[in-house]
């Protein structure tokens, strides 16, 4: 089994060689991260090198695959629009009746309703809301996709993955950025299939793409759509 270093959302394959005297960190033609190191280099030193090179890595990875880019900053005021499952809903600030216990944010009757006093921390409330929705929605929608991808995740978690829509590890744990819940459902399903196949094929090898084509024949169109439109779906 290959040695892998994981730093935040980055997974770097470690290749050791007794003949090597220097360290070489590359992004291969499939977008996978590889660090070539001397055979005896301590793992802690490798991890520190990856941490120092994170900004460089993200820049290289962005040229190789579809990654998240920051979008226009939102204002948490009445009338601002926010996406959920590909549809845009307007925000309405309101003052709850005296004595009424209202959640800081909810989606009701085609509007996002936010308690006016919660608007100062509006982004945090939306992130928590998308995270909760994502945990439930993905757990349900991934059930039929597991059979299509012939993979069974050990766990699924929604979190901030910085530059990535999704990731997984060799133990079968899958992670998705909370921002996936802003995307259209068919795009989210593609991202789920993509990571399910990675549970079996841990890099972007020929075998990975063969399985991806079978499970998601429209994967190229969806990836192009994400590259062109993904930054619209942000807070």
Judge if 120 and 163 occupy the same domain: no
- Which residue would you say has higher pLDDT here, 16 or 56? 16
The confidence band for 63, taking pLDDT boundaries of 50, 70 and 90, is: very low
Judge if 179 and 156 occupy the same domain: yes
Which pLDDT score, from 0 to 100, does residue 9 have?
A: 67
Q: Comparing C-alpha atoms, which of 36, 42, 3 is closest to residue 21?
A: 36
Q: Comparing C-alpha atoms, which of 234, 230, 231, 209 is closest to residue 30?
A: 209
Per-residue pLDDT tens over the stretch 32-45:
788 899 999 999 99
Judge if 139 and 117 occupy the same domain: no
Query: Can you give the CATH number for the domain in which 220 is found?
Result: 3.30.2010.10
Which pLDDT score, from 0 to 100, does residue 68 have?
A: 63
The confidence band for 167, taking pLDDT boundaries of 50, 70 and 90, is: confident
189, part of any domain: yes
73, part of any domain: no
Judge if 145 and 227 occupy the same domain: yes
Q: Please give the share of the chain, as a percent, with pLDDT higher than 90.
A: 52
120, part of any domain: yes
- Asked if 17 and 24 touch (Cβ cutoff 8 Å), the reply is no
Domain region containing 209: 132-232
The confidence band for 73, taking pLDDT boundaries of 50, 70 and 90, is: confident
- Residue 16, pLDDT > 50, answer yes
- Whole-model pTM? 0.74
Domain count, the chain: 3
- Asked if 146 and 152 touch (Cβ cutoff 8 Å), the reply is yes
Which pLDDT score, from 0 to 100, does residue 71 have?
A: 62
> How far is 115 from 105, CA to CA, in rounded Å?
7
Helical H segments across 27-179, by residue range = 43-52, 54-64, 122-149
69, part of any domain: no
> How far is 83 from 80, CA to CA, in rounded Å?
10
Which residues contact residue 220 at a Cβ distance below 8 angstroms, ignoring those fewer than 6 apart?
A: none
Judge if 14 and 45 occupy the same domain: yes
Which pLDDT score, from 0 to 100, does residue 38 have?
A: 92
Judge if 98 and 172 occupy the same domain: no
70, part of any domain: no
The mean pLDDT value for 204-210 works out to 83
Judge if 40 and 107 occupy the same domain: no
The mean pLDDT value for 146-152 works out to 90
Asked which of 128-142, 172-186, 198-212 is least confident by mean pLDDT, the reply is 198-212
Per-residue pLDDT tens over the stretch 84-107:
999 999 999 999 888 778 899 999
């Amino acid at each position: 089994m290959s040695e892998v270093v994981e730093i935040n959302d980055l997974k770097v394959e470690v290749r050791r060689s007794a003949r090597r005297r220097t360290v070489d960190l590359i992004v291969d033609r499939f977008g996978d991260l590889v660090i070539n190191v001397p055979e005896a280099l301590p793992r802690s030193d490798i991890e520190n090198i990856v941490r120092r090179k994170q900004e460089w890595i993200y820049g290289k990875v962005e040229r190789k695959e579809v990654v998240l880019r920051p979008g226009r900053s939102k204002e948490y005021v009445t009338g601002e629009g926010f996406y959920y499952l590909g549809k845009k809903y307007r925000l309405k600030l309101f003052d709850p009746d005296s004595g009424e216990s209202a959640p800081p944010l909810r989606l009701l009757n085609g509007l996002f309703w936010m308690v006016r006093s919660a608007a100062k921390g509006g982004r945090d409330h939306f992130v928590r809301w998308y995270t909760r929705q994502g945990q439930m929605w993905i757990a349900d929608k991934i059930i039929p996709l597991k059979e299509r991808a012939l993979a069974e995740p050990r766990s699924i978690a929604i979190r901030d993955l910085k530059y990535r829509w999704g990731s997984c590890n060799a133990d079968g744990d899958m992670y998705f950025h909370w921002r996936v819940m802003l995307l259209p459902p068919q795009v989210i399903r593609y991202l789920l299939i993509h990571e399910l196949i990675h549970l079996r094929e841990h890099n972007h090898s020929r075998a990975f793409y063969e399985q991806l084509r079978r499970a998601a024949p429209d994967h190229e169109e969806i990836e192009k759509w994400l590259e062109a439109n993904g930054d619209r779906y942000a807070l």
